[in-house]
Structure 1
């Protein structure tokens, strides 16, 4: 495949693989696409080690870094001040959910480590993102930085451009896309509401051509419900010049999911990917679980704003992870989860997407 996006980055196919797992980003990159690593949650020294390893294993190929420039974060409070900073009603609710489920408390050494880390929500702040970017600019193969929750400030765009880095931003509406372009970004990711993680309310079929028309001639990647070659062909038909995929990689044994969670993803239906605010305080689509059911039940408190909700649930989510309580763990998931039927290597997923897209485009060409 050759178009403006492949030429922009020197990649073989315009498939961008969003992930929290460096190994997945490496596999997508080495398969001819571009891996996009979510970097906002890593500690600075940890991120430096990860990017150094990615540089070596991608053998000179470019990769993407995803950051979170959230417009409204709220006050970021250290985890040590959690009890006095949060409403008692919310703390008691979370503790009851975990106690009723028999989830053990955090081991002292894990709690001590969490207290030393960046406060929950810090990675969404401008300060937190700038800390990440200070490390990213030291790695020449990090050719693309995407802002996933809002437009990056113009001065950040200028700084990245001065280092030869392409800048993109994710948009859930044509209005947001226009603001991103006004901030100077080079590429827009139009994310439909079917996507996993933080999403808007407009579906991909409607959103993609709206954004393409709004920001032309700026190139657009299509996101939200992409997990096959047919989806890529549809994105091309609607004016996009590439795709941004996330959920489809989670069924792979190379993903960040535990074996128990991977089984849940393989068994999940599309309607099991629901949009709630319970993990971050902002609408986030993830897999339904006993955790989300508890928050949906009558009498549950309303979620707090972003920084407060992350402060509230951070210890709880860590407890669930350590207990491997798969029934209570949701994880971010798009509605494309219904297509995950088995464990497959990332390379196989990429090759199937490429070959199916080519077959569909040839078939459509012959029909025309």
Structure 2
């Protein structure tokens, strides 16, 4: 299938696979799609190592990175960023999460704090932090950089274009797309509310044609609610030049999400997700768990803004994941991760390359059927 996206990126299939796991990125790319690594999940040194590994696996095939560059975020002293941000976290919030873990019987943290990078990663979710990650990314063979949570900084666009790198941006509303176009992006990702992670409130089938209408020839990718070939074909029918998929890879063997969470995915229905600020401080779709029920209680504090909320719970989630992996029932009840409404279609764990090929084959079959229908 040749579209404006495949021509722009030089790939076989108009399918972008976004994930924090380098093995997923490599598998999607090697199957003819376009893998994109969630770079904001890493420190600069970690990102450098991950990109080296990806490049060894894909052997020159194109791939990209995605960054979180929020417009609004808590600020601290640049010279003591982590300490100054942590000082803004109220004692009320610390007490709440401590009591919650005690209530659910999650063991105390035995982790060596000298090995912890969660605060550093969270504190760097800002334009300055993104620039440090870009320094690393631009030293590698990436061909696209995508950004979310707001228009890309002007220097990001200029720097990428000077290096011949495509700039993509995720949008959740027509007005967001207009601002991204004004910023000079090359690809728009119309992410509907069905999607996992940070998302708005407009459905993919409504949002995609709205964005296509104003894109002025730029490729538009549909995102949210796309995990099968039929859904991919539907996106192309809406005028998209391809699809951007994230949640589907959480059902892959290569994805690094802990197994207890994946088992919860396999048991979930499409109505078992919700948009919540309790992980990042911004509305993000995730699997509903006892964690969200606790934050909905009348005595619960309001979630903090980015990056304070992820700094509050960074080590908390490590404790929950570790305890859940050990079979702790309270931790399993609390455990969750970002995922979209397509979770209801998960039946078994599969290889990311197989998922890619199955989606493409299913899309072709559906398009042929529609062609026959149109000619009948």
Measure the CA separation in 2 of the matches of 1:286 and 1:117.
20
What does residue 186 of structure 2 align with? 186
Give the gaps of 5 or more residues in structure 2.
Answer: 325-330
What does residue 101 of structure 1 align with? 104
SS in 2 for 1:279: coil
1:273-288 equivalences under 5 Å are 273-288=273-288
Measure the CA separation in 1 of the matches of 2:83 and 2:124.
17
What does residue 343 of structure 2 align with? 337
TM-score by length of 1: 0.96
8 A contact 1:41–1:123 mirrored in 2: no
What does residue 134 of structure 2 align with? 133
8 A contact 2:70–2:149 mirrored in 1: yes
Measure the CA separation in 2 of the matches of 1:357 and 1:297.
44
8 A contact 1:40–1:66 mirrored in 2: yes
Shift of 1:269: 0.6
Shift of 1:146: 0.2
Per-residue CA deviation, residues 259-294 of structure 1 (Å, 9 max, x unaligned), is 211111111111111111001111010011111111
1:91-170 equivalences under 5 Å are 91-109=94-112, 111-114=113-116, 119=120, 121-140=122-141, 142-170=142-170
Give the gaps of 5 or more residues in structure 1.
Answer: none
List structure 1 runs of 4+ shifted beyond 6 angstroms.
none
What does residue 363 of structure 2 align with? 357
8 A contact 1:260–1:326 mirrored in 2: yes
Measure the CA separation in 1 of the matches of 2:59 and 2:86.
47
Shift of 1:79: 5.1
Measure the CA separation in 2 of the matches of 1:52 and 1:44.
12
Shift of 1:80: 4.8
TM-score by length of 2: 0.94
SS in 2 for 1:326: helix
Which deviates the most, 33-42 or 301-310?
A: 301-310
8 A contact 2:43–2:121 mirrored in 1: no
Which deviates the most, 39-48 or 200-209?
A: 39-48
Over the residues paired in the alignment, what is the CA RMSD in angstroms? 1.5
Per-residue CA deviation, residues 57-102 of structure 1 (Å, 9 max, x unaligned), is 0011000100011000112575556774322211111110011111
SS in 2 for 1:270: coil
Per-residue CA deviation, residues 237-261 of structure 1 (Å, 9 max, x unaligned), is 1110000001111111211122211
